[in-house]
Structure 1
Amino acid sequence: MYLLYTILAALFCFLILKWMKRRRYCMDIKRLDGKTVLITGGNSGVGKETAVALALRGARVIIACRDEDKARKALREITARSHNMNVLYMRVDLANMRSIREFSKTFLQKEKRLDILINNAGVPGILDWTDDNFSMCFGVNHLGHFLLTNLLLPRLRESSPSRVITLTCSSYRYQKLDFQDLNYNLLPFFTYCRSKLANIYFTQELARIMEGKGVTAYAVHPGYVQSSWTCHYSFLFQLLMKVIMFTFFVPCEAGAQTVVHCAVADEVTAHNGGYFSDCRPGSLRIFAKDAGVSKKLWEASERLVKLV
């Protein structure tokens, strides 16, 4: 009898884990021939799997990241898996505003189209500072992509209808923004949560500003994925998280599905400025839908990155 109970308990746990890791896959088969896609952080994790998926659909895919060696390795893998030779790498350091400006200038000079911009790159909750003295999470996850998107908006508008997809996280719900301390850098997890909330506000305000101009915007929660973000932490923490991620988190390929869905599906345009999870529109907490806060953050961000 004890053995039977053990087997039933094990089966129950297995089914619960399978249920927790279930994910919808993007079923839209639209091709992207002739389209140009830019993916920040496309050399690893969800970004790389997104690059493979969109390259398979015929897109010209440009991955933008800081580490050239990792990017070259990723390019070989993306090309081999997609059989698409039109995959390129361009260097940008999202922790450096000068690098973002130089990248954008080069991109606008070389690339005549930008149909889909995927703001994928990000850092976890680490207590560090960017080259411009912003907290690393806020500086990279929000301000870096804010500046990049604004500088590339002319090309996005020229290529309309175009889309901007920004990766966020459901952990946004655990914090609110403090406009007296946007550069908050005290508790790593809360710092990360605030940056992910900023991604949502950014998407909403971008959608409002671009209304009727051919550019739509979407915030995507890819789920909790088995990515390499733990590399910023100690060996013991990495070991612990590998066990947790293997048990509870989904593979990066599954995590990329909602990003791909927002990149190709026609139905998402009815939810401009919306938040997506598991290939469908998701619900947000009331405070994360405040248009006044979205506008205030946009204006504050413009001043911080010196766009005004």
Structure 2
Amino acid sequence: MFVILLTLLAYLLVGLMIGIGVWHVWLRTTVGKFQSDETMTGKTVLITGGNSGLGLETVRDLARRGARIIMASRKIDVGMKVRDEIIEETGNKNIIVRKLDLSSFQSVRDFSSEILKTEKKIDVLIHNSGCASTSKKRKSVDGLEMTMATNHYGPFLLTHLLIDLLKESTPCRILIVSSAYYKIARVDLNNLNPLDTFPFYLYYVTKTANIMFGLELAKRLKNSNITVNFINPGMCSTAIFKKVPFPLNLLVKYSFKNAKEGAQTTIMCSVSKLLQNKSGKYFSDCRETSLMNFVKDDVKNKKFWEESIKIVQLKSTDPQI
């Protein structure tokens, strides 16, 4: 009996290794790469979460293309250090850092006010920043669940406050970094401040929220010459997965995309002239792909939008979309 069990275990391990190997090959062979040499000279890009990971690689690439970049950073000291490193690497000195904590409505308002005072245009707005917690439940300063506040409500308010400047900057682009993980989560319209929900699941919920918000935004901005698109960077070995336990951490390290590979679709959607008139689309591995039907419900997306306006406490004097 013992020999049989060992044999079965050996078969299971071999099968698992083969499965991981096949998955690894599939992941590596489907990585998209943006190979265009198009420049961004004269363009201003505002990106959240540019201090590390996908955002950092996006900033690095766009800086090389000559873009003027505004890095919205929660940790201003880290942002300044990253800025100096990128200036040294690329020779592009047109990189500035502004403080922004997306989990705080006041911080979003302060940041937006500064941008409106100092900037004449924004050609590309990239909602890249995101947070995920494995188990610790946290509230924002506004009493909202932290993941929802940072990944959805902050960007939602920021977009509203900057919309007039964006309209003055047309043609321009709004990009929202989401994830294929949206497929496994649903936004509960009856519980839009889910303080008691498992935090890591809420990361997936916010990726669904990103797309619901983006689809409604694209609909409202139709014919405005502002495009809105969503990005799936793929499975990337970034800070989101830094606490994954052994041996899964090995799978993340050796099979997932690195940050540079994960940033390729964001870079393409920021730069490519071929996407000038594309809006309300979902891109993955530098290709347009389809969305699941459940996330394209116009009635639910409109309701989510209306409830989000209430939660972010948008004022009648604020810009409207």
Is this contact kept in 2: 1:48–1:78, CA < 8 A? no
In structure 1, C-alpha distance between the alignment counterparts of 2:47 and 2:127, rounded to whole Å: 6
Distance 1:10 1:278 in 2: 26
Partner Cα distance (1:34, 1:270) in 2: 20
Q: Distance in 2 between matches of 1:210 and 1:34?
A: 24
Q: What whole-Å deviation, never above 9, does each CA across 1:241-298 have from its counterpart, x for those lacking one?
A: 5423212211100101000111111333443111111111122111011111111111
State the partner residue of 1:188: 199
User: CA shift at 1:118, angstroms?
Assistant: 0.3
Alignment of structure 1 residues 132-281 onto 2, 5 Å = 132-185=142-195, 186-230=197-241, 237=244, 242-281=249-288
> Corresponding residue for 1:113?
121
Cα 1:239–1:93 shift into 2, 3 Å: farther
Residue segments in structure 1 that go unaligned for 5+ positions in a row: 1-8
How much does 1:213 deviate?
1.1
Q: Which structure has the greater CA radius of gyration? A: 2
Letter in 2 for 1:287: F
State the AA in 2 paired with 1:249: F
Deviation at 1:21, TM superposition (A): 2.4
Distance 2:176 2:152 in 1: 10
Alpha-carbon distance in 2 for matches of 1:230, 1:77: 25
Q: CA deviation at 1:14?
A: 5.5
Q: Displacement of 1:115 after TM fit?
A: 0.5
Instruction: Measure the CA separation in 2 of the matches of 1:246 and 1:21.
Output: 12
SS in 1 for 2:46: strand
Amino acid at match of 2:209: A
Note closer, same or farther for the CA distance 1:241–1:120 as it changes in structure 2 (3 Å cut). farther
Matched, 1:283 2:290: yes
Give the alignment partner of residue 81 of structure 1, picking from 86, 89, 95. 89
Q: Is the 8 A contact 1:174 1:190 kept in 2?
A: no
Residue 94 of structure 1, aligned match among 102, 105, 113: 102
1:34 to 2:46 alignment: no
Maintained 8 Å contact 1:271/1:281: no
Amino acid at match of 1:267: L
Q: TM-score, normalised by structure 1?
A: 0.90
Further displaced range: 70-79 or 58-67 = 70-79
Q: What residue number does 1:6 align with? A: none
Contact 2:172 2:225 in 1 (8 A): yes
Question: How far does residue 168 in structure 1 lie from its aligned partner after superposition?
Answer: 0.5
Instruction: For structure 2, list consecutive stretches of 5 or more residues without a partner in the other structure.
Output: 1-15, 316-321
Deviates most, 199-208 or 73-82: 73-82
Counterpart contact for 1:26–1:260, Cα < 8 Å: yes
Q: 1:168 to 1:12 in 2, by over 3 A?
A: closer
Measure the CA separation in 2 of the matches of 1:105 and 1:202. 23
Instruction: State the identity %.
Output: 35
| Number of equivalences | 296
Answer yes or no: is 1:17 the counterpart of 2:28.
no
Alpha-carbon spacing, 1:142–1:78, altered in 2? closer, same or farther (3 Å):
same
